[in-house]
């Protein structure tokens, strides 16, 4: 999954932004890294997929055997299948499930500020994510 958002075709070319977003959750809410990734991945994937819809479609076809010829539909189906997989192994697929409580706007703001180093950095090589992008991804993951 890490290499999915990459510009190249090897895991080494991967986009680690989802990991950075997850580490921010771990640092503020004492959550395990894998659980933060499953809680964020669908939100992140939906947010960045249009940067390279063909790559997400290829992921869906290769990993899940999705036969859909339309790239947008295939990509959406692959993201959905990944969410279903996470649920099948009892992993959280939202911040609410991860934290076991309601997630406030202040929580989202704190996460985005923490991950962006108080709005001083962007993350990601596939799609550069600034503070507002981070905020949106966290907010969509509620």
Q: Give, as one character, the DSSP assignment of residue 117.
A: T
For the CA atoms of 110, 87, 15, 115, the dihedral, rounded to the nearest 10 degrees, stands at: 10
Question: Comparing C-alpha atoms, which of 1, 7, 25, 11 is closest to residue 134?
Answer: 25
Phi, psi of 123, rounded to the nearest 5 degrees: -130, 160
To 5 degrees, how large is the angle CA 86–CA 91–CA 73?
25
For residue 52, what are its two tokens? 């390279």
Q: Give, as one character, the DSSP assignment of residue 13.
A: G
Instruction: Just give the CATH number of 2-140.
Output: 1.20.1090.10
Confidence (pTM): 0.91
Classify residue 9 as left (phi > 0), alpha (psi -120 to 50) or beta: alpha
Neighbouring residues of 88: CB distance < 8 A, sequence distance ≥ 6: none
Cβ-based neighbour number of residue 132 at 10 Å: 11
Distance CA 93, CA 77 (A): 16
pLDDT tens-digit profile, the chain (142 residues): 555 555 555 555 667 899 999 999 999 999 999 999 999 999 999 999 999 999 999 999 999 999 999 999 999 999 999 999 999 999 999 999 999 999 999 999 999 999 999 999 999 987 999 999 999 999 999 9
């Amino acid at each position: 999954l890490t290499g999915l958002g990459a510009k190249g075709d090897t895991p080494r070319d991967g986009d680690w932004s989802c990991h950075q977003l997850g580490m921010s959750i771990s640092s503020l809410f004492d959550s395990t890294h894998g659980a933060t990734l499953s809680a964020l991945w669908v939100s992140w994937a939906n947010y960045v997929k249009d940067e390279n819809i063909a790559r997400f479609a290829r992921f869906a076809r290769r990993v899940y055997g999705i036969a859909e010829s339309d790239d947008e539909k295939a990509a959406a189906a692959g993201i959905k299948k990944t969410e279903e997989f996470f649920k099948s192994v009892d992993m959280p697929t939202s911040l609410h499930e991860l934290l076991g409580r309601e997630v406030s706007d202040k929580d989202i703001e704190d996460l985005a500020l923490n991950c962006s180093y108080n709005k001083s950095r962007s993350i990601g090589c596939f799609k550069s994510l600034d503070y507002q992008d981070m905020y949106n991804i966290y907010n969509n993951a509620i």
